[in-house]
Structures are given as structure tokens and as C-alpha cells.
Amino acid sequence: MNNNDDQNHTLPKDHPRYLSLRYRHKIIEGMKNLIVAEAGLIAHGRGECFDYILGEKTNLAAKKAIKAAVALLLLAKHPIISVNGNVAALCPNELVELSNKLNVPLELNLFYRKEGRIEAIKNMLESAGAKNLLGIDETSMVQIEELSSNRRNVDPKGIKIADVVFVPLEDGDRSEALKKTGKKVIAVDLNPISRTSIWADITIVDNIVRVLPEMITILDDLKNLKEDQLLEILNNFNNKKNIQNVLDLIKDYIDAQKEEAFKILP
């Protein structure tokens, strides 16, 4: 009898949706290995939908947000990169490379707790070369009172004392809660009008699989800048305006598709 484990994930490289399918299968494999929560599949699907109407490429607004985000991470005193199951499954190597190059720890902070998940994600990231992993020892966790979800349990050496929290894709209430504790939030979310996107100080509306490599490249450009030059980048960045530009871009993209989409027909 067939079950979910019998699916054949061999992907022909010339498939027109090859990349999209490859990432979809990483999420499915991640779920089988406990890295991704069941709801992570649905979250990924929602992301794919937004990615489609953004043209599946990094837009100018995202590039500006990425530059501001890297500047803020370089200026921060106690920055932290928060990790959930989807990000660990989609791009563990890039996550670790960014963490190591910035010398910023990765903290596991999961919405869905399930036995074995922390261990599975830890193993995945350590195989990718992670040196500085927090959020592993559940007995030493402290709480962020402003948050009601599982994410309230944080590492006393990480999110708890952080001044800047980099939050790749996730559910909605955390940017708001983190901001109420005086922290700055950098979010990556393909949905430009999610609560996460609206509350964040810097919102990168793009796919995490493209964002992390771009951040690594930009980091090489910015790492030798002086503090006042980094501050200038931040001062020139307006998050609300940037998100509004993304919304305009979606409108323009959909308008263009009224003709473009049909060009694949003979």
C-alpha cells in the first residue's frame, strides 16, 4: 500500500518549475525529519504564492532593505539570528555562513514544540558548520513576558539580551512583542502586509532562499565601512515607504501579466 514515504522526489532539471519544486521537496523532507513543523508546509505554500506575484526575483525594495539590515546587524551590540524549522530546512548552509561571517549566534526559537525537533535542527545546522548555537538547552530558557506563544521561551544569552533580532519568515505576533521590549526587528517575509512585515523595523519582502546569499554578498561590501557610513545607510531607509513600493510592484507585475502570462502559448 502507498504511504507518504513512497513519493518519488526525482526532479528533472529541465522542468520549468525546477527550483520551486526543489525547495518544496526540501520542506517535505524537512518535515519527515522533524525539522519542519506540519504547518511549515502550509506556510511555505503561502510564501510561494506571494513569490509568484513578485516575479520570483529579488526586487529593488528588497535590495534596499537587505542593505539596511546588514548595516543594522553590523552596528548592533548584541545581534541574534532567530531560526525556525523552515529556514533550517531551506538554507542551512547560507544561514551558518551568515552567522559565522557576522559573528552573530543562531538561536533556535520554535513555534511548534515537538519532541526531537530541536535535536534535528541542531544536527542539521551543526553539519552545516554552525559554531555558535543557542536555544538548545530548554532547561536554561527564560521568558519574554510580552509573548504568549512557545516563542516566549528564549535563551538568556541570545534573544533575551539582544538589541537587534533577525527574524526570518514566521508567524505574526513576535515583531510586535519584541519591539515592545525595546528591540529592533529585521524580518524576512514574502507577505508585505503580514503583521510581522508591518511591525518590523526593516522588512525584507523576498524569498529567504534568495535573501541570505544576497546578505552575504552585501556584508562583504559593508563590513569595512565606518559607523557613521553605516548609520547613513540606516537613516536613508524608510520601511513604510519601502513596503509601499513593494505593493506597487505587485500591482505593476499583475498588470503586466495580463499580457505576459499568455506569451507561453503557441
Stretch that binds ligand PTJ, among 110-118, 152-160, 239-247, 254-262 (CB under 6 A): 110-118
Q: Is 107 in the site for ligand PTJ (CB under 6 A)?
A: no
**Cβ-based nearer residue to ligand PTJ, 163 or 171:** 171
Q: Is 40 in the site for ligand PTJ (CB under 6 A)?
A: yes
**Cβ-based nearer residue to ligand PTJ, 183 or 230:** 183
What does the DSSP 8-state code read for residue 4?
A: G
Selected from 34, 61, 68, 188, the binder of ligand PTJ by CB under 6 A is: 188
143 phi and psi, to 5 degrees? -115, 150
Stretch that binds ligand PTJ, among 7-15, 66-74, 201-209, 216-224 (CB under 6 A): 201-209
Selected from 70, 190, 198, 219, the binder of ligand PTJ by CB under 6 A is: 190
Selected from 111, 128, 176, 253, the binder of ligand PTJ by CB under 6 A is: 111
Would you say how long the chain is, in residues?
266
CB 144 within 8 A of CB 177: yes
Task: Spell out the alpha helix ranges (H) of 91-207.
Answer: 92-102, 117-127, 174-180, 195-199
Q: Is 169 in the site for ligand PTJ (CB under 6 A)?
A: yes
Quick one: cell of 34? 522533524
Sign of the CA dihedral running 254, 259, 263, 266: positive
Q: Is 27 in the site for ligand PTJ (CB under 6 A)?
A: no
Q: Is 43 in the site for ligand PTJ (CB under 6 A)?
A: yes
The residues pairing with 79 across neighbouring beta strands, listed in sequence order, are 164
Q: Is 171 in the site for ligand PTJ (CB under 6 A)?
A: yes
Query: What ranges make up the beta strands (E) of 117-156?
Result: 133-134, 142-143, 153-154
Selected from 11, 21, 39, 216, the binder of ligand PTJ by CB under 6 A is: 39
Greatest distance between any 2 Cα atoms in the chain: 65
Quick one: cell of 69? 539590515
Number of residues that bind ligand PTJ (CB under 6 A): 26
Q: Find the binding residues for ligand PTJ in span 79-98 (CB under 6 A).
A: 84-86
182-212 burial: b if 16+ Cβ within 10 Å, else e: ebbbbbbbbbbebbbbbbbbbbbbbbbbbbb
Minimum distance between the CB of residue 169 and ligand PTJ, rounded to whole angstroms? 3
- Which positions lie near ligand PTJ, rule CB under 6 A? 37, 39-40, 43-44, 46-47, 50, 84-86, 110-112, 169-172, 188-191, 194, 207-209
